[in-house]
Amino acid sequence: MTDSAEDGGRTERLAGLDPELREVVAEVESLGVPPWHALSVESARRIEDELFGGDDGDSGSDNGDGVGGDGNDGGPDATLPVASTLDLAIDGPEGPGNGGEPDGDLPIRVYRPAETPAPTLVFLHGGGWCLGTLDSADDLARRLCRRVGAVVVSVDYRLAPEHPFPAAVDDAIRALRWTREHAAEFGGTDVVGVAGSSAGGTLAAAASLATPDGEAPAVQTLLYPITDRDFGTDSYEANADGPLLTRADMRRFWREYLRSDVDAANPYAAPLRTDEAMLAESAPAVVVTGEHDPLRDDGAAYAARLADAGVDVDHLDYEGMCHGFLSFADEVAVADAAFDDLAAATRERLAAADDADRR
């Protein structure tokens, strides 16, 4: 294919995007990063480290109340200050055959907002269950902390293929349980919700289905979530080549994540497969989708299933947006407004849970 043909194909593929987002995506694609599905997992992670940087040490010095630093130590580019951050390692979930002992440590990063006490959100990052770190999730976690006004507990869950399903789900559930027990230590109230982006949205939905004490979180905020292994939806057909996420990428992520095809029917891997009775016990939801995302129909279908089961749902869909658009809130006005929308909806759900607790 000639350069002019490639440029023409790119122009056609990006034509439907919001103009500001189109510029950002073109800039990202100009970096020449190979598509995720064409890389080894090791190479993809190395590129991610190069893009997001950060260090592996403790992200906050203790300031005397058990919370670290000034809020500018918690990631590679702390341009969104929060009151404080702290990196911790909590006990992981119980391992099979371990006699009830934890299966290793589970790293987390706690972000505290300017005003506490505040509700708490457990945040699960994206990355196709194979990629993602506390540093790559730092920007989204900070935005949630600032705009929702919540303590945020970001979770460095185990990744596939080294740790296939259900390891990440187990970690998400463990983090939710730990947060309920310890939120007050970081200025959190008894109101605890979950949030996640992309693959993390799957984990947030799964954690909402599988609360160990039978009590659903106050909210599940799902940002362009993966909810089923169905590559033939209208949004997959229309956006098979992206931008930023392709059908081939998703085929690869699912292949690395699942142990076998049997797992694809498990509701904790594919929440859209959950039966209605189980869905009815799930948390109120805020679901965010974008027009040009292959996962748009995943999120829309799950929002509809939840609503049909009697769950309160805010489905926020944005024209001209592609997968991952909320990460460009600084450059794209629609993304910035969308973040305000989802933050307001999440705050409303958290406040409703707080009111219910007081009755």
pLDDT-based confidence at 357, cuts 50/70/90?
confident
**11 belongs to a structural domain:** no
Picking from 161, 70, 173, 179, the residue whose alpha carbon sits closest to that of residue 118 is 179
pLDDT value at residue 101: 59
Q: What is the mean pLDDT of residues 273-278?
A: 96
What is the pLDDT of the chain when averaged over all its residues?
A: 89
pTM of the model: 0.90
CATH number at residue 166: 3.40.50.1820
pLDDT value at residue 214: 65
User: What is the Cα–Cα distance from 95 to 167, expressed in whole angstroms?
Assistant: 10
pLDDT value at residue 226: 99
pLDDT value at residue 65: 37
User: What is the Cα–Cα distance from 46 to 48, expressed in whole angstroms?
Assistant: 5
Beta bridge partners of residue 197, listed in sequence order:
223
Picking from 357, 359, 211, 179, the residue whose alpha carbon sits closest to that of residue 283 is 211
**25 belongs to a structural domain:** no
pLDDT value at residue 27: 95
Q: What is the mean pLDDT of residues 151-159?
A: 99
**6 belongs to a structural domain:** no
Q: What is the mean pLDDT of residues 118-146?
A: 98
pLDDT-based confidence at 174, cuts 50/70/90?
very high
Range of the domain at 181: 32-358
Give 44's Cβ-side CA count (13 Å radius): 20
The answer to whether the beta carbons of residues 301 and 329 sit under 8 Å apart is: no
The amino acid at 33: V
Helix (H) or strand (E) holding 12: helix 3-14
Pairing of strands 151-155, 105-112: antiparallel
pLDDT value at residue 225: 99
**250 belongs to a structural domain:** yes
Active site residues: 198, 293, 323
Q: What Rg value do the Cα atoms of the chain yield, rounded?
A: 19
Number of domains in the chain: 1
Question: pLDDT, tens digit, for every residue of 52-89?
Answer: 755 443 334 333 333 344 455 444 335 799 999 999 99
**13 belongs to a structural domain:** no
**235 belongs to a structural domain:** yes
**124 belongs to a structural domain:** yes
**26 belongs to a structural domain:** no
pLDDT value at residue 12: 74
The answer to whether the beta carbons of residues 84 and 67 sit under 8 Å apart is: yes
pLDDT value at residue 163: 98
pLDDT value at residue 242: 96
